[in-house]
Structure formats: structure tokens, C-alpha cells
Amino acid sequence: MANVKYDRDFYAWANEQAALLRAGEVSRADVENIAEELERLGRTEKREFVGRLTALLSLLLKARFQPRKRSPSWKTEIASARGQLLEHLEDNPSLKDKLAEAIAAAFRNARRAAVDEAGPEDGAFPAACPWTFERMVDEKFWPD
């Protein structure tokens, strides 16, 4: 193995570390940086979850509190956002443990975007998320 440095060529380093681990040469592996990268991947999955939740909440807020701005395909967009969110959660079921935190962050983001889009004169948006997670992802729920 070439003993590639983590901070010089990440791609080569990652491939080298994978080869070392597969060969059972853990003692030669860059364990500290591998651990950091695994933690980073976990944070990335959580950010992705919050991002998908933000997208869904943005659509739900717009549909509920700005019905005149609904696009012709608003139900399709909401259904798609629900599906993507649930698929991500299915792939990462331990994110359910972070649901309250994720909803709070996603709602702040979605509300901020909705207020920015609506303008300061539109104060119709609630301060806290008006829906439970189960309600948000319920395919029968439409925020009319």
C-alpha cells in the first residue's frame, strides 16, 4: 500500500483504507480519520433527512397558508416529498430517534422560507409546526 495521506488525496486515501480493512490489516489503517469520516457520513444522513423534511413542510405550509400560490401539481409535489422522506427514513431508521429535533429544525427553515416568499405582510404562518410527523406523511392528509 502507498500510505496515502488523508489530507492530500481523499479519494486515494479512502480506497487505500477500504483495501486495508478488507484485507484485515486494521493495524495499518488510519482508524482515527476513518472514524471521523464515518461520523461525518452520519451527520450527512441527518442533514439530508432535515432537508427532505424541510421540503415537505415548505410544501405543506404553502398549501395550507397560501392556497392561492398552489401550483397545478401541488398534490403530486407533496406526495413525492413524502415518498422521498419516508424512503430516507426507511434507509436510516435510527433517525426516528432524532425526529423531534429534525422537525423543529426543518420547521424553522420551512417557515423562514415561507415568510420570505410571502413577504412581511403575511403573518399567517404558525410559530410551531402544526402537524405531527404521522400527519405530515399521511398520504390521505392534504392541508386544505
**pLDDT digits 0-9 by tens, 77-103:** 999 999 999 999 999 999 999 999 999
Q: Where are the domains of the chain?
A: 43-137
Q: Who has greater pLDDT, 3 or 111? A: 111
Report which of 83, 131, 87, 141 is spatially closest to residue 106, judged by C-alpha positions: 131
| pLDDT at position 3 over 80 | no
| pLDDT at position 121 over 60 | no
Report the predicted TM-score, pTM, of the whole model to 2 decimal places: 0.85
Span of 25-39, 89-103, 109-123 with lowest mean pLDDT: 109-123
Could you give the CA distance from residue 143 to residue 69 in angstroms, rounded to a whole number?
13
Q: Who has greater pLDDT, 57 or 71? A: 57
Residue pair 49/95 in contact by the 8 Å Cβ criterion: yes
Q: Helix 99-118 vs helix 31-65: angle between axes, to the nearest 10 degrees? A: 50
